[in-house]
Amino acid sequence: MAEAERSPADDAIAAMALFGEVLSQVDDSHLELETPCPGWDVETLISHVVLGDASVPLLFAGTPLDGKEPVDRSILGKNPMATWRGTALAAIEAFRAPGAMDQEVPHPSGDRPGSVVAKFRLVDVLAHTWDLATAASIPFEIPDDLADAALDFLFPMVDQLRESEYFGDAVEPAEGASAGERFLALVGRQV
């Protein structure tokens, strides 16, 4: 039996699960470590992902966001894992709601179908999972299927990526690079 085609929600949720796996290996001793994101330590990076997940149910409820949410490290409280779990579960619930992938959502980049919001989360969470793993020296490899989904989404907007403040300059992937390595190179990560 052929595997049913995964939706963008499935891909975003799978990426969120990977983030949780890496985050479960992070402790207080890691929080001040520098990450591959310039100017961000581990605590700031986790806060960014938590705030991104927290924005998902708001967007699907029709609440417009300005896209410039401050990275507030205090949002994590005393237990970053518990905080992340709560926001991730709320995002998963929003992604899995009937009709969510077709729903028009007031994204900061303009009204988008829910499927596009899920793809944005896929890209953001995959990149930051790698960033977190790299900063904390946790072995992690992006699965090819998720990297391929992220690349398929990003390639049509590669010129916009270069103009964005959210992505570094693309780097040349090594010959024979995996899909995960090509994704990281496209979003400006040095592997």
For residue 104 the two structure tokens come to 């028009």
| 18 neighbors 55 (Cβ within 8 angstroms) | no
CA distance 67 to 53: 13
pLDDT digits (tens, 9 = 90+) for 80-121: 999 999 999 999 999 999 999 999 999 888 899 999 999 999
How far from chain centre, in Å, is Cα 78?
Answer: 23
pTM of the model: 0.92
Of 16-25, 32-41, 60-69, give the range with the top mean pLDDT.
Answer: 16-25
Full set of structural domains in the chain with CATH: 8-143 (1.20.120.450)
pLDDT tens digits for 123-151? 999 999 999 999 999 999 999 999 999 99
Q: Are 120 and 107 in contact (CB under 8 A)?
A: yes
Which of helix, strand or coil describes residue 104?
A: strand
Q: Which residues pair with 106 in a beta bridge?
A: 111
Question: How far is residue 151's CA from residue 184's CA, in Å, rounded to a whole number?
Answer: 10
Query: What is the predicted pLDDT for the residue at 64?
Result: 85
